[in-house]
Amino acid sequence: MAGTLFYQENLIKAVDMHSDLILHPHEILLQRWAAVGPVYFIGDSVTRYQFLELVYYLETGLVPSTNNTSTLIDALHDPTNESTFESWAAFYLGTSQFAQGRLTCDCHRTPNSTMEEVIENRVYTNRNVKLVYVQYFKDIGVCSIRGRTLAFQLPNSSPTPDWCLRLPTFVKSLLNDDSANSITVVLNSGLHGYSVETEVLEVILDMFQNTTGNAKAESSNINLLIWKTTTPSQGGSPAPNVIFPHTWEDSRHSQVFDAAGIIDTHFANQSRADLYWDKLHFIGDVYHALNSELIAFIEDAKTQLI
């Protein structure tokens, strides 16, 4: 035992002497996300929390858990749980400040806001990493996604909402703006039960197939579209929403997305109540697992497409 302790103490000293040469797990992960190019998360609150867990881990190396307050932003506030904040404004501010200026939030919500009035678009940049979250609940014909400015222009955000786009138009703007890069869009219909119409998905899929075809012909970067299935609610059953069963298995979307990537997130449930902080939203460990699955999926998909 004494020999083991002596070895451990000297190993720690050696690590301390060369700490600037050693990459921590979250720094290695930062390099992996940088290598795949910009990633856009477009979806509901579960998608938002998956995005925030990823950014928080890349910044701190910690997976947030209310069972261990040392992993939180401070002793009280969990970046993957808005109910630990005093208000939506406090949540938006608190889940931006920990990134020390690398995370911007074009966000607006009051207790009385409808889904059509809520704005939440976030951009995280760290060295060569670019991660974006764009709130999307449903396609309502004209204003599926709205905000003060387009997501990739957030540093120059104006004080009042000035744009409102349907999902295909917004995705097209991303492809046009990041034409020099290889981008990934992670899309889901969310927990609110408003399906993305098959026709809308087909338009978006065509955009990606065209850009990917051109990229292959020119041996340039490849854009990737991923359909993220809707996560189960606590207990494994559909959420308490009369429209929700229409999107529960995402069967229509799976058929449409045969030519794209599908990542099945149902494994996140395991029918364990302790994995949730309410009926629909997970604890940080689950989002961490989802993100581990996602980066591996993106890396593998892009390797196969090259």
Choose the weakest-confidence range: 16-30, 177-191, 271-285.
16-30
Average pLDDT over residues 91-102: 94
Sorted by where each begins, the domain ranges of the chain are: 52-126+133-305
* DSSP assignment string, the chain: -HHHHHHHHHHHHHHHHTGGG---HHHHHHHHHHHT--EEEEESHHHHHHHHHHHHHHHHS---BTTBGGGSSSSS--TT-GGGSSSHHHHHHHHHHTTTTSEEEEEE--TT--TTT-EEEEEEEETTEEEEEEE-----SS-SEEESS-GGGGGG--SS--EEE-HHHHHHHHHHHTTTS--EEEE---SS--PPPHHHHHHHHHHHHHHHHHHHHHT----EEEEEPPPP-TTSSPPS-TTTHHHHS-HHHHHHGGGSEEE--GGGTTT-GGGBSSSS-B-HHHHHHHHHHHHHHHHHHHHHH-
Give me the mean pLDDT over the 69-97 stretch.
94
Q: Just give the CATH number of 52-126+133-305.
A: 3.40.50
81 or 200, which is more confident: 81
Taking the C-alpha atoms of residue 256 and residue 259, their distance in angstroms, rounded to an integer, is: 7
Q: Share the mean pLDDT of the chain.
A: 78
* pLDDT tops 60 at residue 36: yes
Entry pTM: 0.83
Query: Cβ atoms within 10 A of the Cβ of 109, count?
Result: 17
**pLDDT band at residue 32 using 50, 70 and 90 as cut-offs:** very high
pLDDT over 90, % of the chain: 37
Minimum mean pLDDT range among 40-49, 69-78, 200-209? 200-209
- The mean per-residue pLDDT over the stretch 132-144 comes to 80
